[in-house]
């Protein structure tokens, strides 16, 4: 099968998008449960784009970095009004 085949190219793109979505769901779910919506959505879309660029090679480390940032960062505390 050659890379010039249209079906092969479509399969590569669909596979890359699936990898990006699956790895992006991890920081999305973790971030939404920890009330860190910005990091959750940013992690999802960065995993999606990195999955398109280099597949699992880049999407997996991106997923790990965003999940680490979500779990590491402490939620900002609001001062109590007295």
Chunk the chain into consecutive blocks of 10 residues (it has 82) and report each block's average pLDDT, rounded to whole numbers: 85 94 96 94 96 94 96 70 60
In a domain, 31, yes or no: yes
Q: What is the pLDDT of residue 77?
A: 64
Structural domain of residue 36, as residue ranges? 8-71
Q: Please, are residues 20 and 44 in contact by the beta-carbon 8 Å criterion?
A: no
| Number of compact structural domains in the chain | 1
Q: Could you tell me if residue 65 is inside a domain?
A: yes
Measured CA distances, 61 to 33, 69, 77 (Å) = 21, 12, 30
pLDDT of residue 78: 66
Global pTM reads 0.81
CA-closest candidate to residue 62, choices 54, 17, 29, 10: 54
Query: Do the beta carbons of residue 10 and residue 16 sit within 8 Å?
Result: no
């Amino acid at each position: 099968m050659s890379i010039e085949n249209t079906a092969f190219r479509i399969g590569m793109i669909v596979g890359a998008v699936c990898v990006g979505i699956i790895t992006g769901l991890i920081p999305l779910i973790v971030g939404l449960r920890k009330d860190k919506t910005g990091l959750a959505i940013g992690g999802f879309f960065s995993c999606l784009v990195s999955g398109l660029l280099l597949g699992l090679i880049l999407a997996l480390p991106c997923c790990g970095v965003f999940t680490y940032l979500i779990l590491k960062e402490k939620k900002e505390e609001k001062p109590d009004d007295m």
